[in-house]
Copies of this chain bind each other. A is one copy, B any other.
Amino acid sequence: MFSQGMIQPPITHSGATPLFVDAAPTERRILLAALDAFVDRGVHGARIPEIARRAGIATGTIYLYFPSKERLASELVARLRGRIAAELARRAAPAPDTDGSPEAPAPPEVRRQFDAIWDVFAGFMLEHERAMAFLDLHMHGDYVGPDTMASWAPARELLVAHFTAGRAAGVYRDLPPQTLRATMAGVLIGAHKFSRMGELELDAATLERLREAAWDAVSRGETRP
């Protein structure tokens, strides 16, 4: 889905895959409430009793599931990143023959994977706007421990590999892979930020057109049709 020039179901089929479905019900309520509270006031600014209130439970109950506020935040980052990482692995993995092969992928394959990556992030962003906001704001937080980093590593790997290969294939601009990756992410983050500020309204159609913009930002001019 979300691929080029085809009739598709709407990107957002709300509730497609709700957050934290494999957590116990109370734990899930806590995670969702904490997500909201952290986005609204930041991790340091959010109060535990307020999270409990939003979750409809007693303050003390939170401590039956998470040993501290910091660990709750850390867990949240880990689970959200894990969710994206899993989706990336499932939907945006490189074509089998490309994987590990010494030769660069064919340009269409680069484009296909680019679209798949974009769709994973864009889809996540549309369905879970607040989760995206949390990840955006707390990418640098002190509570992002090494565990979290480790669980993200495969996704990071996949992304770096994609841009490295795409550049080797002559598809991408002559910029460091991380810069390309930052640019792609930036287009998405920019849209998200302005949406949160109320300056624009995001929908699937806009995000699909922004995919083109992002592609033009990272690819070399010659490859354009």
A10 on the interface (CB 8 Å rule)? no
Instruction: Find A42's partner among B43, B188, B190, B199 (CB 8 Å cutoff).
Output: B43
Which residues does chain B contribute within 8 Å of A218, judged by CB atoms?
A: 213
* Identical chains in the assembly: 4
Question: Given known contacts A179-B191, A187-B190, A216-B217, what 4 new A-B pairs fall within 8 Å (CB)?
Answer: A42-B44, A43-B45, A175-B209, A182-B191
A186 at interface by CB-CB < 8 Å:
yes
In the complex, what residues of B have CB within 8 A of residue A137's CB?
A: 137
Q: Which of B43, B44, B181, B194 contacts A182 (CB 8 A)?
A: B194
Residue of B nearest to A181 (CB): B194
Query: Chain A 166-189 against B: per-residue CB contact (8 Å), 1 yes, 0 no?
Result: 000000010110110111111111
> Are B221 and A216 interface neighbours, CB within 8 A?
yes
Cβ B213 vs Cβ A173 within 8 A: yes
Contact status A193-B139, CB under 8 Å: yes
CB contacts (< 8 Å) of A179 on chain B: these are 191, 194, 200, 206, 210
* A221 contact set on B, CB distance < 8 A: 216, 224
**Does A214 have its Cβ within 8 Å of any Cβ on chain B?**
yes
Some 5 contacts from A to B, beta carbons below 8 A apart, are A44-B44, A45-B142, A178-B200, A179-B194, A216-B216
A60 to chain B, nearest CB (A): 13
In the bound assembly, the distance between CA atoms of A199 and B186 in angstroms comes to 14
Q: Is B190 in contact with A190, judged by CB distance below 8 angstroms?
A: yes
A197 within 8 A of B: yes
Residue of B nearest to A196 (CB): B140
Q: State whether B224 touches A213 (Cβ < 8 A).
A: no
* Cross-chain contact A178 with B190 (CB below 8 angstroms): no
* CB-CB under 8 A for A183 and B210, given A44-B42, A221-B224: yes
> CB of A41 within 8 A of chain B?
yes
Within 8 A of B (CB), among A41-100: 41-45
Docked complex: A122-147 residues within 8 A CB-CB of B: 133, 137, 139-142
Which residues of chain B come closer than 8 Å to A187, judged between CB atoms? 183, 186-187, 190, 217
